[in-house]
Chain A
Amino acid sequence: MENGGYVGEVEPAGKKPIAELRGVTKRFGEVLAASDLNLSIAEGEFLSFLGPSGCGKTTALRMLAGFETPTEGDVLLDGKVVNTLEAHHRPVNMVFQQYALFPHMTVAQNIGYGLRQIRPRIPKAEISERVSKALDVVQLAGFEDRKIWEMSGGQQQRVALARAIINEPKLLLLDEPMAALDRKLRKEMQIELQDLQRQLGITFVLVTHDQEEALSMSDRICIMRDGRIVQIGSPQELYDRPNSRYVADFVGTSNFFNGKLQRSTDGLSEVLLDNGMRIQGMPGDGLVDGQEVCVSVRPEQMKLRRQGKGLEVEVHNRIFLGEHTEYLVTHETLGDFLVLAPRQADLSEGAFAVRDKALVSWETSAALILDRN
């Protein structure tokens, strides 16, 4: 880890872990798909793996499901090492990205599949009763005898969900379950999924590369990059205290100014920017004097004024967003950056027009000094 190794709370405070990854590494030949993953998932929590394509999210999930065995390290379920335990012996269910519904079975047969595998056999009547109940939960009552290809994408997704939750798994794994849905349906399903998770109390592990989805749904998010976990934390923690430029960029938007860390005193530090300016900010963990760093300031933390102190900029573009106005401003040597002004500020100060001169300032506490990577 470049930044001293602190990735946040690997263990959630005070709760019993239902699943754990301990130093888990997975190689596919030359490809390092997962590298030294350390993570503990608490009972009843909603955890997301967030990261760009190919960063190893699916691989991590598949090791929990039992489709891949780790090359190194241990996977634990309920405190027991299960590295080589086959998928059909694990009390874990998965919702597949393309749903993977059985095309030769009806909706009811698909949903009852897991229950039908259990020995000693569960009576038929009980299975069909539980199937109806599961259909109720996903709001598909009455669709029992439909064929899979007669269902829309959103309905198929619910069937896939019902097929997993009917088994009351200890852990429900979801691999980008909403990726195939359109925007509106995705929003609806996100809310339903969250409700469902609270209602059932099942632990959810969601894989996504959609930051909004992860931020709005999760108790904790695990940010991944190139097979490594970069940071773990609640959505607020990741937003307010990212441990690297990568995280600050991935979670929300931010403005970055590159420079060298000058003097690290307790609490506050000074950065010599590449253009020769010096600014103060809050240093992140594990940074050393002289290190190449960047200063991150969120657009909504910046204030745009006509008089006083601040960076002299020119307004380049203005987008009215209702509650906020987004200004793209240009500084002579620092380049372009974004400022998000609340409606209130626009009303009291008067809105800026394109090509207006303005002064940008922010609180020192809003400037985070971060690892460049």
Chain B
Amino acid sequence: MRLYAICVYLFLYIPIGVIALFSFNAGRHASQLQGFSTKWYGKALSNPFVMDALETSLVVAFCSALFASVFGTMAAVALQGIRGPVRATFDLLIYVAVMIPGIVIGIATLIGLVTVFDQLNPLIAAIWPDGFKPPKLRMGIGSLIAAHTMFLMALVVIIVRARLAGMDRALTEASSDLYATPMGTFRQVTLPMIFPAILAGFLLSFTFSFDDFIIAFFVAGSETTLPIYVFSSIRRGVTPEINAIGTMVMGVSLLLLITAQLLLQRGGKKSR
């Protein structure tokens, strides 16, 4: 049994370890180790295509995580105030939204956005003043952010809802008993208490968006995010440079995930 468990873990982590190991390879072949070097990191970081893709990824991840946290929190707080079958329905829908495969979200968002753009573009062109070139809505950074926000909002709702549900109802009642308006109660009691959860939701969303390939692949248009860049260059063979990028992405993701986990744990303890 123990041996079995060890095998599973080895199976899971050996490929990742190999990637990290080979990213420090001095040689140029991905298959044989030729001494230690960090030159591929330097190379990756000075590659303008990589830096471009990284910038796009960071902007998309930051914006979609921000929107998802704000709207997700608003939705969670609103849901908390509802009772009965309406709430049960929404809860179910939220869980379903998280479980839908990325490829379905990708296709659905693509079709949805294309349809909307097809409807809107002639309209915009029609009302635009003559002599100016009307802007054209198309796939790009905007659609990336929109698609990610929609998907990640559900995640934030779940995290924040869990925190809200763990919060003693008497606290908000005590606040209103002490003359605070509903807005005042939200600002002074609810928000500070669920803030760790919101932050954790933000970090998780950031990681998900940053690492996402499938949804981005469908809606990115001409934009290239880091995962898309890695995917396209891998078709030309795995270079140590790719390994270096992979290792860096993994490092940052792990850091964010651990921070989020710690936030959720600490926040949970404090409210007891």
A residues sitting closer than 8 Å to B (CB atoms) are 65-67, 86-89, 92-94, 96-98, 100-104, 113-114, 117-118, 163, 167
Say whether B134 faces chain A, with CB atoms less than 8 Å apart: no
Contact indicator A114/B192 (Cβ below 8 Å): no
Kindly supply a per-residue 1/0 record for chain B positions 80-113, scoring 1 wherever the CB is within 8 Å of any chain A CB and 0 otherwise.
Answer: 0000000000000000000000000000000000
Per DSSP, chain A at the interface is loop
Q: Of all chain B residues, which has the CB nearest A96?
A: B170
Contact indicator B180/A100 (Cβ below 8 Å): no
The one of A86, A97, A103, A117 in contact with B193, judged by C-beta atoms closer than 8 angstroms, is A103
Contact indicator A88/B181 (Cβ below 8 Å): yes
- Given A104-B270, A117-B184: A94 touches B177 (CB 8 Å cut-off): yes
The one of A94, A97, A100, A167 in contact with B179, judged by C-beta atoms closer than 8 angstroms, is A167
Which 7 A-B residue pairs are closest in the complex by CB-CB distance?
A100-B170, A114-B178, A100-B174, A117-B179, A87-B176, A88-B176, A117-B180
Q: Of all chain B residues, which has the CB nearest A104?
A: B192
> B168 contacts which chain A residues (CB < 8 A)?
98, 100
Distance in angstroms from A101 CB to nearest chain B CB is 8
Q: List 11 A-B contacts (CB under 8 A).
A: A66-B177, A86-B176, A88-B177, A92-B177, A94-B177, A96-B174, A100-B171, A113-B180, A113-B188, A114-B178, A117-B180
Residues facing A in B180-196 (CB within 8 A) are 180-182, 184, 188-189, 192-193
Q: Of all chain A residues, which has the CB nearest B181?
A: A88
> A104 contacts which chain B residues (CB < 8 A)?
192-193, 270
Contact indicator A93/B193 (Cβ below 8 Å): no
Contact indicator B174/A88 (Cβ below 8 Å): no
Interface size counted on chain B using CB atoms at 8 A: 20
Contact indicator A114/B179 (Cβ below 8 Å): yes
Distance in angstroms from A165 CB to nearest chain B CB is 12
Question: Which of B173, B178, B181 counts the most A-chain CB atoms under 10 A from its CB?
Answer: B178
Distance in angstroms from A330 CB to nearest chain B CB is 49
Distance in angstroms from A162 CB to nearest chain B CB is 12
Say whether B175 faces chain A, with CB atoms less than 8 Å apart: yes
> B181 contacts which chain A residues (CB < 8 A)?
88, 117
Say whether B37 faces chain A, with CB atoms less than 8 Å apart: no
Cα A97 to Cα B171 in complex, Å, equals 11
> A65 contacts which chain B residues (CB < 8 A)?
177
Cα A58 to Cα B216 in complex, Å, equals 54
Say whether B31 faces chain A, with CB atoms less than 8 Å apart: no
Distance in angstroms from B270 CB to nearest chain A CB is 6
Contact indicator B193/A87 (Cβ below 8 Å): no
Say whether B34 faces chain A, with CB atoms less than 8 Å apart: no
> A163 contacts which chain B residues (CB < 8 A)?
178
Cα A212 to Cα B8 in complex, Å, equals 64
> B174 contacts which chain A residues (CB < 8 A)?
94, 96, 100-102
Say whether B271 faces chain A, with CB atoms less than 8 Å apart: yes
Contacts A103-B271, A117-B179, A117-B181 aside, 10 further interface pairs with beta carbons under 8 A come to A66-B176, A67-B173, A88-B179, A92-B177, A94-B174, A96-B173, A102-B174, A102-B189, A113-B178, A114-B178
Distance in angstroms from B193 CB to nearest chain A CB is 6
Contact indicator B173/A113 (Cβ below 8 Å): no
Q: Of all chain B residues, which has the CB nearest A114?
A: B178
Contact indicator B178/A117 (Cβ below 8 Å): yes
- Given A88-B181, A103-B193: A98 touches B170 (CB 8 Å cut-off): yes
> A86 contacts which chain B residues (CB < 8 A)?
176
